């Protein structure tokens, strides 16, 4: 039991009256009787608070949370006592999360049940825990509060924010990829498989007409194609320390996960297989998956990926990937390229290219671009500008070297990476390069 500010105020008033009674001895008796009566009321109030039936509290969490998106938690409060219960509750939300409407203060009527809903935004991916709920129940007269703990720890999964994936899916159903920035370019015939014959339509290219079928039917017949299927896309994901750099509100690593989810969704829709291999302090492998069930499998595999403090071992990653993935695939290496990577990265990707089609997708750090665009106004800013220019030049040299060796490259900001990578995937499919 804990005294409230109301009890402290009452005690202060009684002490103030003590000063008056000391100046006027005639008031000493009434002051004592007033203190006894007040103490009795306070004690009775505390006893009633102690004897009340405890509240029944239940919590219902969403099935899943998305990183940075508010999810609604429901708290059910049931009061089986004969009097209303005023209380304050604070749920045990995970660290680094935000719930602006907590703590909640309200009244639960007698023999009634109410539901409290509050939004919570989680800012860490992976498995997090909602701990026990803290409740403070006020006594009938408000002189005391009784603290109690309710519920058990509940783990919950926080997934990457795959809202772009859902938005693309809705747009794709309406054949409207362009509003998102994903461009569907014309496909060469070598990138497609024959699907069926159909009547000629205005605008069909002459090369698409099946002249033998047209002569038999005495009307123009066109061949219909579908994109090549059953090809493989492997994401080689860097989880090393360089991926911890913040870009906006999220680390670059989380931008990469969003890009993987978008491109994986596109690839699975095209009928391709998708696999994931991590390196740089972790060594996780998701074998190639395909079909409608594959997105949940991919989400459950990626949601708890975390960066480490380890360096990125490109040669070791390539060696392990080639041992696991023997079928020719499009291998997309996702990292944050550094100038010192050239000596290790270039030979490693040359080895990988001997068996697979390789793309290096690297993120540019926005803070570096901002420094390069800042006017030089002092000696220190000049040094900073020169260091930044040298850093960017080293990255350009590595990308140019890889391009000359036949390795596909993509250099993008974190915010543009997802759409740029999806467009690159479509270009590769269109060219029939896998």
| β-bridge mates for residue 275, sequence order | 234
Which position has the token pair 């900073």?
A: 384
Which position has the token pair 């999360």?
A: 97
Report field, pTM of the whole predicted structure over 0.95: no
Q: Which residues contact 138 (CB under 8 A, 6 or more apart)?
A: 4, 49, 85, 86, 87, 88, 144, 145
Share of the chain above pLDDT 70, in %: 91
Task: Report, as an integer, the average pLDDT of 362-389.
Answer: 79
Give the confidence band of 393 by pLDDT, cuts at 50, 70, 90: confident
Q: Find out whether 335 and 360 touch, Cβ atoms under 8 Å.
A: yes
Task: Report, as an integer, the average pLDDT of 129-155.
Answer: 91
Give the confidence band of 34 by pLDDT, cuts at 50, 70, 90: confident
Can you tell me whether residue 339 is helix, strand or coil?
A: helix
Whole-angstrom distance between the N-terminal and C-terminal Cα of the chain? 71
Report the chain's mean pLDDT, rounded to a whole number.
84
Which candidate, 424, 369, 373, 418, places its Cα nearest to that of 392? 369
Task: Report, as an integer, the average pLDDT of 376-388.
Answer: 81
pLDDT at position 153: 93
pLDDT at position 188: 44
**119, pLDDT greater than 90:** yes
pLDDT tens digit string along 188-231?
444 455 567 778 887 777 777 888 888 888 888 887 665 556 78
Q: Find out whether 257 and 305 touch, Cβ atoms under 8 Å.
A: yes
pLDDT at position 182: 54
Q: Comparing 249 with 109, which gets the higher pLDDT?
A: 109
**174, pLDDT greater than 80:** no
**179, pLDDT greater than 70:** no
**160, pLDDT greater than 70:** yes
Task: Report, as an integer, the average pLDDT of 110-120.
Answer: 93
Give the confidence band of 59 by pLDDT, cuts at 50, 70, 90: very high
**181, pLDDT greater than 60:** no
Task: Report, as an integer, the average pLDDT of 87-99.
Answer: 91
Task: Report, as an integer, the average pLDDT of 390-397.
Answer: 85
CA dist 400 to 176, 340, 363, 404, Å?
Answer: 34, 15, 15, 6
pLDDT at position 115: 95
User: Which runs of E-coded beta strand occur in 123-272?
Assistant: 126-138, 144-150, 154-159, 192-199, 221-227, 232-238, 246-247, 250-251
CA dist 215 to 200, 203, 204, 209, 211, Å?
Answer: 13, 20, 17, 11, 6
**170, pLDDT greater than 70:** no
pLDDT at position 191: 45
Alpha-carbon span 394 to 338, nearest angstrom? 8
Q: Find out whether 348 and 314 touch, Cβ atoms under 8 Å.
A: yes
**368, pLDDT greater than 60:** yes
Q: Which two tokens stand for residue 187?
A: 């496909």
pLDDT at position 173: 44
CA dist 179 to 174, 186, 293, 300, Å?
Answer: 11, 18, 27, 29
Please tell me what DSSP assigns to residue 185: P
**247, pLDDT greater than 80:** no
């Amino acid at each position: 039991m804990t005294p409230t500010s109301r009890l402290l105020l009452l005690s202060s008033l009684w002490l103030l009256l003590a000063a008056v009674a000391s100046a006027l001895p005639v008031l000493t008796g009434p002051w004592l009787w007033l203190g006894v009566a007040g103490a009795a009321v306070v004690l009775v109030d505390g006893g009633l608070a102690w004897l009340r039936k405890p509240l029944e509290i239940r919590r219902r969490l969403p099935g899943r949370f998305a990183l940075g998106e508010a999810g609604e938690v429901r708290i059910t409060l049931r009061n089986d006592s004969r009097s209303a219960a005023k209380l304050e509750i604070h749920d045990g939300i995970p660290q680094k999360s935000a719930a602006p409407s907590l703590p909640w203060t309200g009244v639960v009527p007698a023999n009634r049940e109410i539901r409290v809903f509050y939004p919570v935004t989680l800012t860490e991916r992976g498995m997090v825990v909602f701990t026990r709920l803290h409740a403070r129940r006020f006594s009938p007269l408000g002189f005391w509060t009784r603290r109690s703990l309710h519920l058990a720890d509940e783990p919950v999964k926080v997934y990457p924010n795959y809202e772009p994936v859902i938005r693309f899916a809705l747009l794709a159903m309406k054949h409207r990829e362009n509003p998102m920035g994903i461009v569907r370019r014309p496909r060469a015939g070598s990138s497609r498989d024959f699907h069926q014959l159909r009547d000629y339509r205005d605008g069909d290219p002459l090369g698409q007409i099946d002249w033998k079928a047209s002569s038999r039917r005495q009307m123009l017949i066109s061949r219909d194609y579908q994109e090549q299927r059953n090809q493989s896309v492997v994401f080689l994901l860097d989880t090393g320390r360089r991926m911890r750099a913040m870009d906006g509100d999220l680390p670059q690593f989380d931008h990469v996960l969003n890009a993987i989810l978008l491109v994986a969704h596109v690839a699975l829709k095209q009928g391709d297989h998708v696999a994931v291999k991590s390196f740089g302090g972790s060594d996780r492998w998701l074998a190639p998956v395909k079909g409608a069930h594959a997105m949940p499998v991919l989400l459950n595999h990626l949601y708890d990926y975390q960066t480490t403090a380890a360096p990125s071992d490109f040669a070791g990653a390539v060696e392990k990937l080639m041992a696991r993935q023997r079928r020719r695939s499009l291998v997309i290496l996702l990292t944050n390229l550094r100038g010192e990577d050239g000596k290790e990265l270039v030979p490693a990707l040359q080895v990988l290219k001997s068996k697979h089609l390789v793309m290096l997708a690297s993120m540019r750090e926005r803070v570096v671009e901002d420094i390069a665009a800042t006017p030089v106004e002092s000696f220190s800013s000049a040094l900073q500008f020169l260091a930044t220019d040298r850093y960017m030049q080293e990255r350009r040299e590595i990308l140019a070297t890889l391009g000359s060796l036949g390795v596909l490259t993509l250099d993008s900001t974190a915010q543009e990476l997802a759409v740029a990578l999806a467009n690159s995937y479509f270009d590769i499919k269109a060219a029939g390069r896998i």
